[in-house]
Structure 1
Amino acid sequence: MTLFIGIVIFLVTFVFMEFMAWFSHKYIMHGFLWVLHKDHHHKDHDSWFERNDAFFIIYAVVSMSFIITASNTWFWYGLPIGFGIMAYGAAYFLVHDIFIHQRFKLLRNANNWYARGVRRAHKIHHKHLGKEEGECFGMLFVPFKYFKK
């Protein structure tokens, strides 16, 4: 039963991170931490790294904190929470940085309806170079209107 509960917590955490990605992108990245995120919309440097990459570190620290706390206390469900956050981060990195932005030259030939929809939604978001008016989407729950044939 504990394994089942752990799997449910992991899956709920993974899905909840979609909301957290949307929320933090809309209200934090396009809000008070725009200074870190703006180079993602308007590249103002020659480096492969962006200031925006700091957000990976922030979420990694949150994930590791849950895992370490679970390993050292009675808070066992911190383990599936931490791994759920980590799995979402890995999936987000794969979809956003590798598939959409091609930071590594992988998955370039994916051209099915889902791939086109995700790319189209992200392109709409990046159409706005400023802090305001950027539509924000998650990775999993992209509005259906972007999935045209």
Structure 2
Amino acid sequence: MSIFAIIATVLASVIAMEFVAWGAHKYIMHGFGWNWHRDHHEPHDKMLEKNDLYGIVGAVMSISMFAIGSPMIMGNSAWEPGTWIGLGILFYGIIYTLIHDGLVHQRYFKYVPKRGYAKRLVQAHKLHHATIGKEGGVSFGFVFARDPAKLKAELKVQRETGKAVVRDSVGAV
């Protein structure tokens, strides 16, 4: 593969992982996988959460792609793009860890952004946590965040239609 193809594959994989993560968050974590994700939505003082098991799932995806791309493991049937897709998944995992666990939930460092996209990410994810239970909700992505005012409006509709139980502390919702 050319260096351009390698870079494009890695970048495309990072971007694609946001869509994979959005779908997994909305339909798995807030669906049949709620048992692992529930403690992430509940107050606790533990260093680790069951929800962290989803990080292991992401690591298995990345390692699997590295293996598919490795001639040492796959021999002549190795598929080189697998290596670069695996690297993209790894990069997404690092980005997720820094943004979601670090910036938004402050598990690794304390920093509250006052403006810009970082503030928007934090606000959007706090609105995601505004619902009680797995039903309803907004902002299932981790790196791309929609306008918090639009998310608040969606939560208001969900509360009014009974699609979700929304915490009172969300303010004007």
Distance 1:81 1:124, change over 3 A: same
Residue identity in the other structure for 1:95 = I
Percent of residue pairs identical = 42
How far is the alpha carbon of 1:55 from its aligned partner? 0.2
How far is the alpha carbon of 1:142 from its aligned partner? 1.1
Q: State the SS of the aligned residue for 2:134.
A: coil
For structure 2, the residue ranges without an aligned partner over 5 or more in a row are 151-173
How far is the alpha carbon of 1:129 from its aligned partner? 2.3
- Please point out which of 118, 121, 124 is paired with 1:118: 121
Distance 2:128 2:142 in 1: 13
Q: State the SS of the aligned residue for 1:35.
A: helix
| Count of aligned positions | 145
Q: Residues 120 and 146 of structure 1 are in contact (CA less than 8 Å); yes or no, is this contact kept in structure 2?
A: no
Q: Residues 99 and 143 of structure 2 are in contact (CA less than 8 Å); yes or no, is this contact kept in structure 1?
A: no
Q: Residues 62 and 90 of structure 2 are in contact (CA less than 8 Å); yes or no, is this contact kept in structure 1?
A: yes
Matched with 1:142 is 145
Distance 2:39 2:128 in 1: 14
Larger radius of gyration: 2
Distance 1:97 1:109 in 2: 13
Normalized against structure 1, the TM-score is what? Answer: 0.89
Distance 1:79 1:31 in 2: 31
For structure 1, the residue ranges without an aligned partner over 5 or more in a row are none
Distance 2:51 2:123 in 1: 21
Root-mean-square deviation (CA, aligned residues, Å) is 1.7
> Higher relative contact order at CA 8 Å, sep ≥6: structure 1 or structure 2?
1
Matched with 2:134 is 131
Residue identity in the other structure for 1:131 = K
Normalized against structure 2, the TM-score is what? Answer: 0.78
Matched with 1:20 is 20
Q: State the SS of the aligned residue for 2:79.
A: coil
How far is the alpha carbon of 1:146 from its aligned partner? 5.2
Q: Residues 36 and 51 of structure 1 are in contact (CA less than 8 Å); yes or no, is this contact kept in structure 2?
A: yes
- Runs of 4+ residues deviating >6 angstroms: none
How far is the alpha carbon of 1:2 from its aligned partner? 2.1
Distance 1:111 1:85 in 2: 30
